[in-house]
Amino acid sequence: MGATMTLTAERTAAETFLAEATELLGAKGITQDPDLMEPWLTDWRGRYTGRALALASPGSTEEVAGLMKLCARHGVPIVPQGGNSGMVGGATPDESGRGILLSLRRMDRVRDLDTGAGQVVCEAGVILQSLHELADENGLRFPLTLGGKGSATVGGLISTNAGGTQVLRHGTMRAQVLGIEAVLADGSVYDGLTALKKDNRGFDLKQLLIGSEGTLGIVTAATLRLLPAPTARVTVWAGLSGIVEARTLLRAMERAMGDTLEGFEVVPAHCLDSVVAHLPDARPPLSQRHEWNALIEFVASGMDEGRLRERAERALAEAMEDGLFDDAAIAANETQAEDLWTLRESISAAERARGPAMQHDISVPVEKMPEFILAAIPAIEGEFPGTRGIAFGHLGDGNVHFHILAPAGAVPGEWEEDEGRRVSGRVYDLVTDWGGSISAEHGIGQVKIGELARLGDPVALAMMRSVKRALDPDGLLNPGKLVPGA
């Protein structure tokens, strides 16, 4: 009887909240239609499915603020969502159905573009691809890109501090955000959109909000930097005998090529074999098989391509003389350059096609990565007989995709839940022993919150909990994500 009464009271509270929210947002701005909500209640990788009271799609910062005030008054949790292309379930609500799923996709206006200053003010829902196109049309460039660019939104990229393949030179999303606007837990609006290169008026609230996965505030707009469009690009594929040699080559290229070095990706023979077997048109770029390969890219603006190529050729010739690599091919044109990048970008799919594997998005200090790979792969393979370890990706960022392939005969869907889990635990133990991060790029979300609780520095976790409680005392902003024990 008591339970029923409570349930009725809850329903009434929810109904009151929904009526007020509908009045605020209009019929266009909120829905409970299961068909409309369904695509957004499961994460991109299909690992989590949640429930929500409703899907709210406000059209303006004022509406987000108004909704947040309603949520605060009624104690309704709110889960912000961008393109729903995240990898860690960070934008998927829990199964309680108590909260609101907040889509920022309707807020997709470009509020201001200043080509002279190289700045654009975007709302949270602007899609990365659209931003690239806008920059391109104006002779400019937004220097961050990643696989999900067709759906990833500015708000999501900021909330997760997205990375990609240009971090070596241009940094993660943290480096692209010049200003930010966010709705806080009490519905107040933090307006930090004005881009000031220098400002020492207090704590860095902008960086505090970036990468906080919607747990401290809802990013509604941002001022982003745009760079001059590149005028020259030189792409190189080099064959090497080892991963230690790859680091030496990386340092030599940094010294010789300075800021023109934009990408330095490593690809072991195993991955190249997989890609060549998987893609019908793919051919190995070099005549011989090499234990390791490096995909290197130099980019410059304000310099013609002949000059950059000449400089790169000189630097490579010197490195070859010093024995830093065995063979290399320089892309003769854009098509060849794209073909080299296709090899790199097809690795995940090609490896997946070979069977079940546990994938880890990890980092250690750049300088230590070769030794980490050389130590961690045999350690895991020794502990879990029949598994095979491979590592590929952003050596220049100290961030590789560290995959452990299941033993032959492992049952897909079963192995991952059983031995696979233990494998991942050991990988994260090793990464932590080496001073690294269990999440270099993808974030914590729901997927890794347990591992963060287990392996994170207790002092850092205590600081995070204190800050979380300070800025969201009722725990309404994206509960259950990122901050263990919040």
Please report, as residue ranges, which positions from 448 to 477 form the binding site for a second copy (by CB under 8 A).
452, 456-457, 459-464, 466-467, 469-471
Bridge-partner residues for 228, per DSSP? 140
CB 13 within 8 A of CB 39: no
- The residues in 73-112 that bind a second copy, with binding defined as CB under 8 A, are none
- Dist CA 326 CA 303 (whole Å): 29
Q: Crossing angle, helix 2-25 and helix 61-74, to 10 degrees?
A: 160
| Closest CB to a second copy among residues 76, 444 | 444
Contact segment (CB under 8 A) with a second copy among 26-34, 265-273, 411-419, 442-450 equals: 442-450
| Closest CB to a second copy among residues 30, 440 | 440
- As measured in angstroms, the least distance from the Cβ of 350 to a second copy is 24
On the 0-12 / 13-18 / 19+ scale of CB atoms within 10 A, 85 is buried
Query: Which run of H or E residues covers position 235?
Result: strand 232-240
- Dist CA 50 CA 94 (whole Å): 5
Beta-carbon neighbour count of residue 346 at 10 Å?
A: 19
Contact segment (CB under 8 A) with a second copy among 77-85, 126-134, 253-261, 318-326 equals: 253-261
With tokens 């234990």, the residue in question is 291
| Closest CB to a second copy among residues 213, 419 | 213
334 counts as binding a second copy under rule CB under 8 A: no
Residue-level length of the chain = 486
Residue choice 255, 289, 421, 422 for contact with a second copy (CB under 8 A): 255
- As measured in angstroms, the least distance from the Cβ of 118 to a second copy is 8
- The residues in 287-316 that bind a second copy, with binding defined as CB under 8 A, are 300-303
| Closest CB to a second copy among residues 210, 430 | 210
- The residues in 112-141 that bind a second copy, with binding defined as CB under 8 A, are 114, 116-117, 119
Size of residue set near a second copy by CB under 8 A:
81
Q: How many CA atoms lie within 13 A of 179 on its CB side?
A: 20
Tokens read off for 51: 């429930």
191 counts as binding a second copy under rule CB under 8 A: yes
Residue choice 84, 92, 145, 212 for contact with a second copy (CB under 8 A): 212
Residue choice 257, 343, 404, 423 for contact with a second copy (CB under 8 A): 257
36 counts as binding a second copy under rule CB under 8 A: no
- The residues in 354-413 that bind a second copy, with binding defined as CB under 8 A, are 363-367, 394, 397-399
CB 450 within 8 A of CB 374: no
Tokens read off for 154: 């500015």
Assign 133 to helix, strand or coil.
helix
